[in-house]
Structure 1
Amino acid sequence: MDIFNTNTLINEQTGNLAFSLNTFEDNCQFDHLNRLNYYSLVWIKKGSGVAKIDFSEFEFTSNTMFAITPYQPFMFVEKEHVEGVVLNFHPDFFCIHKHHEQVACNGVLFNNIYNPPMLCITDDIRGQIEMLLSQMGAEIQKADLAQYELLVSYLKIFLITASRAKAKQQPEELEALPDNKEPFILQKLKNLIETHYKTKHSAGDYAELLNITPKALAKITKSHFNKTMTNLISERIIIEAKRELYLTNKSVKEIAYGLGYDDEHYFSRFFKNNADISPKTYRDTVGFARAMA
């Protein structure tokens, strides 16, 4: 890694961003659709507006942090003037797929299709978050011995802190009234998607497994996840496809077959329609060879 400017590290082998930490005083870098080939943690310290991420919209106020995965489409429409901090890191710098047991952020902060990709920075964690950002900001400017190792250590603590905070903030669906069956359907639906997403790709399949009508299922998913059933299934498939593209040397055809697609070209079109990038380009810009080096 080499220093490109005071806030950004560049991967010397690829010329791509490896790690960066910057403040922003307006919304200009987020007022249009972004699809970046690295992870982004965007802390809105001041302001309010609407975040458009994937298929959904989320209202936000001051002290909201968004967690964005590589090539996830997002933009912010501000209502009140926006200021904050953005932390970016490429999977080559730190891969949450490879280190998910160490930081437990995959499926909490990132790649969670059931909860909004955001958390509130409350008073009890704000000081720690500020301190970690300050330490990373100071370290990124040093170009000193073991800089990469120290930055990764700070980043791990940052991700663990944010993941713990988000886990506490996630709605406890099963605490609903005993006569409300929806929370149990929601949990069963999550379990069914995790079990069958590689083989069952239609909303009707899951309605049948739940023994409810497709219309009733559509109403539940829209109400609780602000997504269609098709969106949920597609997002889950894409998350696994990206993981396979990044962590393995499997061909696109092998990955497609493992996810229930006999036709590699159909799968590639499905991937591009949902990720706005081909599987090959995703692997070339985010993953495999450099990740395994």
Structure 2
Amino acid sequence: MKAVHADTGEYLFGLKPAMASSLARPSQFSEYTVIFIPSGSGTYQADFSTFSFNGPVLLFATPFQALRLQADKDMEVLLLQFHGDFYCIEQHHSEVACNGLLFNNIYLWPYISLSAAQAADFTQLLTQLGNELHQEPPSGIVLKAYLQLLLAKSSTIRLQTQTARPDEQPQDKQMEAFRQLLDQHYRSLHKPADYASMLAISPNHLSKRCKGYFGKSPSQLIQDRLVLEAKKQLHLTRKSIKEIAYELQFEDEFYFSRFFKKMTKVSPRTFRRRTGISVVADLSM
């Protein structure tokens, strides 16, 4: 594998072939990860949720998301990874629109299915990117341009298919209302029963509808929403861990740290140290 590293030795960007079996055990990376599977089928586990896929497909994961790939038969895949210090998706949101479409969305399925023609385009793009990586030295500007093009193409496909569910089931207005309530109140309301009450349904009914619509239980979505916001605050701001815990209305920073580590397997301090603080943190000051 050819990769780009910082002067400090930190891994910034790389593309490598890998066997699907190498990802059969849960893995975590401190970089954004895109997995290109040209063909085949299986299941993709992201944190505590499992999704079925049929290639060709692109899978997406945020830093320190727990990944597990179980293919029906072993096959070669391509693993593209980039650190936030190499390419800041928040800073380039207007160009690629990938933050919230491909990454950092607890409601959308973490992959996009590709047509044969789209898969051929991505194969060519990744080949060109790989060729640039083998230049001595590779051009960071060119690599970022290829990466930006890949993310922009992926976001366009996501927008064209704009659905959180591959079976294209009709929109559930009540569950969409739950989504809105969760985004409004996740800081203060941490129990499914709170949302069931606002929706005037029983907790059991909420659980059944939620699992069928989002593929996750209400508790999972609440926890995922808290973790997502915590990751954003750790990466996109210079707020202290105590301040972040207070904003998310945890009893104290120690309880928040235990919750975060339980969900991500790393402490808030380790997450911030490994992912870095985005340039967006200083731009917004």
TM-score over 0.5 for the alignment? Answer: yes
Count of aligned residue pairs for this structure pair: 280
Mapping 1:12-91, distance limit 5 Å: 12-13=7-8, 15-24=9-18, 26-91=19-84
* Equivalent residue, structure 2, for 1:167: 159
Q: 2:88–2:278: 8 Å Cα contact kept in structure 1?
A: no
Aligned to 2:40, the other structure's residue is in SS state strand
1:3 aligned partner: none
Which residue does 2:272 correspond to in 1? 283
Could you say which residue in structure 2 is the equivalent of 1:150? 142
| In structure 1, C-alpha distance between the alignment counterparts of 2:10 and 2:112, rounded to whole Å | 28
Aligned to 1:10: 5
CA–CA distance in structure 2, aligned partners of residues 124 and 256 of structure 1? 47
Distance in 2 of aligned mates of 1:126 and 1:277? 35
Distance of aligned partners of 1:285 and 1:189 in 2 relative to their CA distance in 1, 3 Å threshold? same
| Matched residue, 1:127 | 120
* Deviation at residue 20 of structure 1 after TM alignment: 0.6
TM-superposed CA distance for 1:262, in Å, is 3.5
Q: CA offset at residue 131 of structure 1?
A: 2.7
Q: Secondary structure at the match of 1:201?
A: coil
* CA shift digits 1:25-81 (9 cap, x unpaired): x32320111011011100111322222221111122221211011110011122123
Separation (CA, whole Å) in 2 of partners of 1:285 and 1:132: 29
Match of 1:204 in 2: 193
Q: Which runs of 4+ in 1 moved over 3 A?
A: 289-293
- Give me the whole-angstrom Cα distance separating, in 1, the residues matched to 2:57 and 2:194: 36
Q: Can you give the 5+ residue segments of structure 2 that lack an aligned partner in the other structure?
A: none
SS, match of residue 277 in structure 1: coil
- Cα deviation digits, residues 161-204 of structure 1 (max 9, x gap): 1111122223388x966xxxx71112111111111112211111
Structure 1, residues 255-275: CA drift from partner, whole Å, max 9, x if none?
A: 111112231111111111111
Separation in 2, partners of 1:235, 1:215: 20
Say yes or no: does 1:114 pair with 2:103.
no
Letter in 1 for 2:68: M
Structure 1 length as normaliser, TM-score? 0.89
Using the TM superposition, give the Cα deviation of residue 129 of structure 1 relative to its aligned residue in structure 2, in angstroms: 1.6
How far residue 134 of structure 1 moved from its aligned partner, in angstroms, is 2.1
Q: For structure 1, list consecutive stretches of 5 or more residues without a partner in the other structure.
A: 1-5
In the alignment, the residues of structure 1 paired with residue 183 and residue 278 of structure 2 have an alpha-carbon distance, to the nearest angstrom, of: 28
CA shift, 1:290, in A, is 7.8
Tell me, in whole angstroms, the C-alpha distance in 1 between the residues paired with 2:241 and 2:36: 35
Taking structure 2 as the reference length, what is the TM-score of the superposition? 0.91
